[in-house]
A and B are shown apart, each in its own frame.
Chain A
Amino acid sequence: MSDSASAMPEHPPVTDWVHDFDHTDPRWTENPFPIWDELRAASPVVHTERFLGCYMPTTFEAVKQIAHDTEHFSSRRVIVRDVRPPITSSAPPITSDPPEHKPAKQLLLPPFTPDAMKKLEPRVRAICNELIDEFIAEGKCDAAARYTKHIPVRTIAHMLGIPEEDSHLFIKWIHEILELGIKDDAALVGAVQEMTAYFAEHIAARRQRPTDDLISSLINARGKDGQPLDDAHVLGSLRLLLIAGIDTTWSAIGASLWHLARTPADRERLVKEPQLMPTAIEELLRVYSPVTMAREVMKETTIAGCPVKPGNMVLLSFPAANRDPAAFPDADKIVLDRKSNPHAAFGLGIHRCVGSNLARMEMTVALQEWLKRIPDFRLDPAGKVTWSEGTVRGPRQLPIRFEKAT
């Protein structure tokens, strides 16, 4: 592996999706849904030679089977990239396999229960209103840049006990890791180093003077052997919380506002029937699931009749699973009061998102506060909506117009 790994060449455009798919192709980024339909119609598992070899399960069943199979599929790499350098840093528990996974995850779960989220809710409501105050008099805004982006990052900073003003740093690192890092190893490595140095300082400060926040509770946690976690574990888990907790929910809130901006019937219904919010949130999560994960094939096996061989990655697309018509009737239709909706937006199996209760709370509060103050809004025809590339999909520019208010 070259140690001067800089930006890799751009990928050639895809001409044969079924045998040569590429989740970084601009057409996938813009509108992946017809591509997933084409892949699903071809096979429950497709393969590409790109990314040094990668499979993609296309049905809900195949995604579920892989997510539940930790014997043949490892989580040690959770992003499908152009390069596969030796593993030097981990982010437990997302990059852990059994038997290490369970104790690492149990350390993180208690601060993220629904009850814990209720205590955090007033701060999130306040953050949303502070943000709306800044643009509501203008009658328009880029909702991705001025609203949805800031809610998760400030909330997670609040939970971790780090300054909310450092949010811009976290957003930069996440962009370098999750987007640039697919093709540019140096960007990823640099971001991980900066992040590690940043958190190492905060850990050192808390060892001197303990605080009442998530960093301190990780420092004070005891592993299975009764010993404190080593710094590498604490740093890895902090990296995970920051990376996983920010642009994911940013994307989910943004995609929800994007849908409501261009679908007046759903927007009006949600304003008139606020009691629909819980099922609406689940439906928006299903239809615009932001997060695609990855696995590495460790042992040869068969998925939905298709042979799967080691040496390949797996693009584990929960978003595509959630659009499978065999699992969800009218899968492409958005039904705000859908009764049966066992979607996989937060994953399936042991790696269910630690922050799912946090994400749901943030989405709910962000939409409630927006709809209270800006019930009538639409996409700004003068602007352009753009979507993030790769692992997490959501609007990165979301120009919106509304009646000026105070």
Chain B
Amino acid sequence: MSGKLRVHVDPDKCQGHARCKSLAPELFDLDEYGNAHEHGDGVVPAGLEDKAWLAKANCPEIAIDVIEE
């Protein structure tokens, strides 16, 4: 099986740059302070894999994990 992806934001590392929300709004949500967390359980719907990797590559705090399941 080729991998299903899941994204996870480390809340201790996230500083609210919001790059992930801008690049992959389907995969991330922001709280009232503008800090990010993964949308729902973080599972990346088919077709959005590139956006998951893009969000990870653009996070200045290296707060995003992309987990291949």
Contacts and interface: CB of A to CB of B under 8 A. Distances in A.
A387 to B, nearest CB: 25
Given A340-B57, A352-B15, A106 B33 contact: yes
Given A350-B15, A352-B17, A356-B18, A342 B59 contact: yes
B12 to A, nearest CB: 11
Given A110-B32, A346-B17, A352-B16, A278 B59 contact: no
Contacts of A352: 15-17
Interface in B32-64: 32-34, 54, 57-62
A18 to B, nearest CB: 28
Given A278-B22, A342-B57, A343-B60, A349 B15 contact: yes
Nearest to B57: A340
Would you call the interface of chain B mostly helix, strand, loop, or mixed? loop
Contact of A339 (B18, B34, B57): B57
Contacts, number: 52
A339 B55 CA distance: 10
Interface string B2-37: 000000000000011111011100000010111000
Interface of A: 106, 109-110, 112-115, 278, 282, 339-344, 346, 348-350, 352, 356-357
28 contacts: A106-B33, A109-B16, A109-B34, A110-B32, A110-B33, A112-B34, A113-B30, A113-B32, A113-B34, A114-B18, A114-B22, A114-B30, A278-B23, A282-B58, A339-B54, A340-B58, A341-B58, A342-B57, A342-B58, A342-B59, A342-B62, A344-B60, A348-B60, A348-B61, A349-B61, A350-B15, A352-B15, A356-B18
Interface of B: 15-19, 21-23, 30, 32-34, 54, 57-62
